[in-house]
Copies of this chain bind each other. A is one copy, B any other.
């Protein structure tokens, strides 16, 4: 089976996020007020072939931990979807 995977990688709470801070400082100057708690992260989407969703989850979690994110400073959240046409 083929699954759609969307991985979100964000800096852990307490880890500095200079890009987010820069955006937050710049927005009021550009006329966008009322924005707070800006955080940036990375998005990685792909397709994966696996026997079932449990197998896909095992592979994706391993990939996130070992390769796609740095678990010391980043949180990874993976959404695995079984997408198929109906009918």
Interface residues of A (CB under 8 A from B): 8-10, 20, 23-24, 26-27, 30, 32-50, 59, 62-63, 66-68
Residues in chain B near residue A59, CB distance under 8 A = 32
B23 touches A44 (CB 8 A): yes
* A32-B59, A50-B34, A66-B30 known; A43+B40 contact, CB < 8 A: yes
B32 touches A67 (CB 8 A): yes
Q: What is the oligomeric copy number?
A: 2
CA distance A63 to B49 in the complex (A): 37
Residues in chain B near residue A26, CB distance under 8 A = 67
B35 touches A46 (CB 8 A): yes
User: 25 A–B contact pairs at CB < 8 A?
Assistant: A8-B43, A10-B45, A23-B44, A27-B67, A30-B66, A30-B67, A32-B67, A34-B48, A34-B49, A35-B46, A35-B48, A36-B46, A37-B45, A37-B46, A37-B47, A38-B44, A38-B45, A38-B46, A39-B44, A39-B45, A40-B43, A40-B44, A41-B44, A41-B45, A42-B42
